Structures are given as structure tokens and as C-alpha cells.
Amino acid sequence: MFIEGECFWARTVEGDGREMSLSLLAEAGRRVREMGESMEIEGVPETRPDNIQTGGVIRTFCGHTYTVWAVSISPDHTTIASGSGDTTIHLWGTWTGECHCVIDGHNATVKFISFFPTNSQLLISASEDNTVQQWDISGHKIGPAYEGSGVAFSPDGIYFISWRYLGSVATVQNSDSGVVVAKLQVPSSCLRCCCFSPITKIVAGCAGHTIYIWDITSPGPHLVKTLIGHIKDIRSIAFSSSLISTSWDQSIKFWQIGTLPMDPVTTNPESTPLISGSIMFVSLQTADEIAISINKGGVLRVWDILTGLCKTSFHCPVDHYSINNMWPVDNRLILV
């Protein structure tokens, strides 16, 4: 099988060294805010911002008693799940802001949470208590607990991969049966995160400065490539049609993976810088083909990751120093 590991597009992100994340799996703060088209909430008059471009705050979700670290939105966009340092998972109505269920099933901080990609009634969580557990939206535990403090689904929901933060082994299992499909190992105990490619059979994991690429199909899972290019530890990785990585070296890299379609980057990327200025945080939303950045001045920008052009920008009306993730839902922007 042919897999290339050439980095075909890289961006330097200037900032003060705060964490930059690609995914929805690392959240901070005790409130979830929605920004975009407004509505009347709890007697507050409508402000009616037109869309995501205006940046008006329309709702704040409060209820956790400690830092929120993980957030996921159900595939039908009706429910938001949040995991916290208070060891609980809260389930919220996206449009009402009401908490309709509190799950108290972990003994330590809930660091990762995700709805099943094909089922808005089911979710999975991973905690610093080193357990991975599955739940329905009524708060009932489903099946046994598995080992791990991080977790991610394949795009089709058939598999999930779990790992212990800064461990050396990631485990791929069938989502329904729990049967182990593959055990993937890195040379050192510094595994930070893992993700599936759009075609499921390819899995990526990052440890230290290095990205590891595995093929998990028969006759046996095997390492097919290591990608080296960052000069400091990699913070997170995500797949679009290419593999995207961010690092403490303040760069974003797009890697060509030969078995996947190429991102259509045909123009000179250096002519349209993706990020500029003193950036506090960057979030890449590969499904929407955008990146969202916020700088020290509180200016939030939405970028097209295929062209590097800024689609829109506005001044963030909330405390930008506490924001640790953001993503669009139905023309709204949710900040955590």
C-alpha cells in the first residue's frame, strides 16, 4: 500500500504558547456559549444578530462546578454533552439551554466525550480514572467499561480507539461488541491523541514530535508510516482529506496521505497566510473546511482551510483568555 508522508502545506501561528487544538476533545471554562442568530432567552430581549458574522452571545450554559474539559454535539444537533473536572457529564438541550440529565459515573475528570456518529441517543466518555464508558442520553450505562483516558470514533461509528494519555498503546475495538480489532504501539510512553481517517482503515496517533500511521485491516494491523516535521510536541491531529497537525512549535501542518484524496490546494499557500498576529487559540473544523482563531486582542476569525482566506471576523464579546474550543452549528458558533 502506498502512503506518502510529505508535508505539503504548513502555517506558522504566532502566539504566547497557549495550547492549540484541532478537535472538540479538549475544553476549558465552566460555561458553554452560543454565538450567532439570537432568540429571546429567560426574558432577555432579542438582539437578532444576523448570523455567525456578528458574534452576539445568545446563550450561556451553566451547571458544572469545575472546569469543563470535553464537549460533543449529537449528530442531529439537539443535544450537547459536556464533561468536567467535577467528574460529571451534563446533557443539555442545544436550543433550550436546559440540562436534562447529569451522569455521575466517573471518579475523575472527564477529558473526552463523543456522541456515536450515527446515533444521537448514545455517547462515549473517557476519564482520568482510566475508564472508557458508554451511555444513553437518559444517563444509563451501556455495556462494560474499557481501559483508557482518551477515546475517538471512526467516521462510520463501527469502531472506537482508546488510549491512555502519555501511554504507549492504543486499542481499536468494535463499538457494538467491544471485540479488540487492533493494538497499536508507539516506541515511547508519550501518546497524546489518536484519530481515524475518513476511510476508517487508516489510524493516526501522535507522540512527541512524531505522527504514526497504521493500517488496521487484515491480515494484520501494521505501522505504515511515521511523519516527522514538527520541532516541538504535537498537540492534536485530525483528518480531512489530508492529515492536519498542530504543535507547540506554533505551526499547523497538512500532510499528504497517499491512499486518501488530496486536498485541492493548488494556489501558492504563502500568498494567503492562514493565521497572523498574536494567536491565543486555533480550532480546525475539518468537516466544515474552516479554521477558527482568536488573538490577544479578542478578534475572532474564520478561515477557509483550502484557500487560506479569511471568511469573516469580529470582536469576541466574551473573555477570550478562557476560551479553549469553538465550532459552528447551524450558523451559530459555540464557545467553551
Tell me the per-residue pLDDT of 284-297, one tens digit each, with 9 for 90 and over. 676 677 777 777 67
User: With pLDDT > 90 as the criterion, what percentage of the chain qualifies?
Assistant: 41
Tens digits of residue pLDDT in 158-194: 999 999 988 999 999 999 999 999 999 999 888 999 9
Interatomic CA distance for residues 136 and 121, integer angstroms = 6
Residue showing cell 479538549? 26
Domain encompassing residue 70? 7-335
Mean pLDDT to the nearest integer, 261-269 = 36
Q: Does 2 reside within a domain?
A: no
Q: Does 1 reside within a domain?
A: no
User: Is pLDDT above 80 for 39?
Assistant: no
Grid coordinates belonging to 117: 456518529
Number of domains forming the structure of the chain: 1
User: What confidence category does residue 320 fall into, taking pLDDT thresholds of 50, 70 and 90?
Assistant: low
End-to-end CA distance of the chain: 40
Taken in order 250, 256, 259, 263, the sign of the CA dihedral is positive
Q: Does 67 reside within a domain?
A: yes
Buried residues in 249-270 as b, exposed as e (16+ CB within 10 A):
bbbbbbbbbeebeebebeeebe
User: What confidence category does residue 280 fall into, taking pLDDT thresholds of 50, 70 and 90?
Assistant: low
pTM: 0.74
Grid coordinates belonging to 168: 504507549
pLDDT the model gives residue 31 = 47
Q: Do 191 and 152 touch, CB atoms closer than 8 A?
A: no
Neighbours of 60 (CB within 10 A): 14
Q: Does 255 reside within a domain?
A: yes
Interatomic CA distance for residues 161 and 147, integer angstroms = 11
Helices (H) and strands (E) in the chain, counts: 0, 28
Interatomic CA distance for residues 87 and 196, integer angstroms = 27
Question: Residue 311: which CATH number?
Answer: 2.130.10.10
Give the three-state DSSP class for 68: strand
Q: Do 104 and 64 touch, CB atoms closer than 8 A?
A: no
Tens digits of residue pLDDT in 248-263: 777 778 787 765 543 4
User: What confidence category does residue 304 fall into, taking pLDDT thresholds of 50, 70 and 90?
Assistant: confident
Q: Does 74 reside within a domain?
A: yes
Taken in order 48, 50, 54, 60, the sign of the CA dihedral is positive
Interatomic CA distance for residues 109 and 82, integer angstroms = 11
In degrees rounded to 5, what are phi and psi of residue 29?
105, 165
Interatomic CA distance for residues 166 and 191, integer angstroms = 5
Which region among 48-52, 103-107, 285-289, 323-327 has the lowest average model confidence (pLDDT)? 48-52
In degrees rounded to 5, what are phi and psi of residue 283?
-125, 125
In degrees rounded to 5, what are phi and psi of residue 322?
-100, -5
Q: Does 305 reside within a domain?
A: yes
